[in-house]
Chain A
Amino acid sequence: AQSVSQHNHHVILSEAASLELGCNYSYGGTVNLFWYVQYPGQHLQLLLKYFSGDPLVKGIKGFEAEFIKSKFSFNLRKPSVQWSDTAEYFCAVNYHPSAGTYKYIFGTGTRLKVLA
């Protein structure tokens, strides 16, 4: 079965520290890649997405992610975190097991806590 791995389950950082959250997937074919964020008490929101082209994608709130095909990775980064970035972050992959069909896999999530 295909999988998405988020290696960091809990991350604690101080404000202004840099952030990198790892995401690796197993599917060997073409994929669409996503990062979603869930702030406390809110629903999942799309942070950024990669379909094709420039492997470095920029999202909302200063987040970016880099797709490295050879490593099956799509790591999320932010140069300087803020207290308001405290949330749970989910990596997700969409792929086509056969023509016209879709599957989505989410990672188990990383809980980020930013200390003021």
Chain B
Amino acid sequence: ETGVTQSPTHLIKTRGQQVTLRCSSQSGHNTVSWYQQALGQGPQFIFQYYREEENGRGNFPPRFSGLQFPNYSSELNVNALELDDSALYLCASSLVPGGGYTFGSGTRLTVV
């Protein structure tokens, strides 16, 4: 079992910049979702991809976008970074949509 791996682990960006976070899903998992977790809060659902198509989205603006690739890796892209985007970003994969997730350790993004 390979688990879910995310890169980078930490990142500092300047307000207005763009960032790409990467995730490698657990082997065999064709569903991936991304979450934003602020300090002291639960994870907030950004979106979910199943077989390379988005099939669920939380209350995040369009500047949060994603991609899922045939090898089940995925990306989270955030444009026009704002200070409030500073958070831990979690990737999670599942065998099927709606199933229980295996989480990665996250990418800590700091926007200055």
Identify which of B16-24, B72-80, B94-102 touches chain A. Answer: B94-102
B56 on the A face (CB < 8 A)? yes
In the complex, which range does the number of interface residues on chain A fall in? 20 to 34
Q: How far is the CB of A83 from chain B (nearest CB, A)?
A: 24
Most buried by A among B43, B58, B105: B43
Chain B residues whose CB sits within 8 angstroms of the CB of A34 once the complex forms: 100
Residue of chain B at shortest CB distance from A47: B100
Rounded to whole angstroms, the CA-CA distance of A52 and B104 in the bound complex is 27
CB distance B101 to A106 under 8 Å?
no
Chain B residues whose CB sits within 8 angstroms of the CB of A102 once the complex forms: 48, 55-56, 97-98
Chain B residues whose CB sits within 8 angstroms of the CB of A100 once the complex forms: 55
In the complex, which range does the number of interface residues on chain B fall in? 20 to 34
Given contacts A44-B90, A102-B97, contact A90 B104 (CB under 8 A): no
Chain B residues whose CB sits within 8 angstroms of the CB of A45 once the complex forms: 103
**Interface residue ranges of B1-53 to A (CB < 8 Å):** 33, 35, 40-45, 48
A46 on the B face (CB < 8 A)? yes
Rounded to whole angstroms, the CA-CA distance of A104 and B58 in the bound complex is 8
Given contacts A44-B90, A103-B58, contact A108 B42 (CB under 8 A): yes
CB distance A104 to B48 under 8 Å?
yes
Given contacts A32-B98, A100-B55, contact A106 B104 (CB under 8 A): no
Q: How far is the CB of A104 from chain B (nearest CB, A)?
A: 4
Most buried by B among A43, A49, A90: A43
Rounded to whole angstroms, the CA-CA distance of A34 and B57 in the bound complex is 19
A94 on the B face (CB < 8 A)? yes
A1 on the B face (CB < 8 A)? yes
A70 on the B face (CB < 8 A)? no
CB distance B103 to A44 under 8 Å?
yes
Chain B residues whose CB sits within 8 angstroms of the CB of A90 once the complex forms: 42-43
CB distance A43 to B59 under 8 Å?
no
Q: Which residues of A contact B (CB under 8 A)?
A: 1, 4, 32, 34, 36, 43-46, 49, 51, 90, 92, 94, 96, 100-109
Q: Which residues of B contact A (CB under 8 A)?
A: 33, 35, 40-45, 48, 55-59, 90, 92, 97-106
